[in-house]
Structure 1
Amino acid sequence: MPSLTLNAWAISFTQCARIVVKYLPDNFTTGPYCPDTLSDLGGICDWDGENAGLYQLNGDFWKMVETQGYTFCDADGNINIADPAAGPTSSNNCLEAGEDTKAEQTALIPLVPVKAAAPTQLTTVAQVGLALTNISIFADAPSVLTTGNLPALDNCGGHIDPGGCTTGTRPPRTSRPASRRKASTPTVT
């Protein structure tokens, strides 16, 4: 990217369309994400461990990852579900964010796009674009091999966190019983 002064950036942004979108379009439903139990059917995940691939979150998947040293459930077969906004302090959680219906996103779309001189390497959860349905498109989720936690997607490959972040200021998910949510406090290092 060329080196620009603050004034040049201001001029550049005036040549963009500014689009503000709601968290979710009206009458748009998402999910499922994390199943409640080993016998329930959840969304999907892009597993990057041994036997990497796109998997449905079901009993067969949980058995496969258990052979790799991951235990995402308790002794009764209940899936460990944590909300990324709460900042899980342990591993082996299926991550499912709570909805924030008050959130808005702003996208700046160049009126006259210019081809980049070189490709840009995408970082984890980098915002890539905006779909015609006003839903953000993001790069890859954090790896379970790095975090120990599994980011769940719905069956269309979407996830519920509008910012694509693994932590945030929105309230934690409240639609699951408190006994199923892991109590956690973000750790500052």
Structure 2
Amino acid sequence: MGDMTDVETTGAWLSREDLDNARERLPILYVNAVPVRVDDRGVVTHLGLLLRADNDGGIGQEVVGGRVLYHEKIRDALARHIEKDLGPMALPRIPVSPQPFTIAEFFPTPGVTAYHDSRQHAVSLAYIVAVVGDCRPQQDALDLSWVTPEEAASMAVRGEMAGSHGVLVRQALAHVGFPV
């Protein structure tokens, strides 16, 4: 079998109509990344949160994320979304074999799980990814804030994060040893 890094994924985008059609029939695979800064001992010192407008006209903090393309490796999807949201100089330290800290199941019906997405049934593999470079919000992100774990926990509890991103942040913090 050939090297999968040479697989063309640009033709894997769906039209808006095709995506809406798929969302009505299939769970869609996503990745989320909680970008972090770590000290010399590997302890998380800051989390990167994007400020974005949502489809309903609200504004909230989010983590990096997006769909996995057909024929795309998870590691490549993480790298692509980190670059898309944080810029080409973010320099993420994605492990050779990334392991999610949680698998989030989003349902269009509220209350089925802690995760809700009115557009679709989606499954997201969520990762904590250290970034060491210069990060600047890109594309539809309005701003990028680096906050301490304590500030992130407080924001998540107060509901300042869009959708279910507060749940993801609380789980990420618990995963790296911060009480929430």
TM-score range, shorter chain: under 0.3
Kindly indicate which of the two structures has a greater share of residues assigned to helix: 2
TM-score for both structures, normalised by structure 1: 0.26
Kindly indicate which of the two structures has a greater share of residues assigned to strand: 2
TM-score for both structures, normalised by structure 2: 0.27
Structure with max Cα Rg = 1
Structure number with greater CO (CA < 8 Å, separation at least 6) is 1
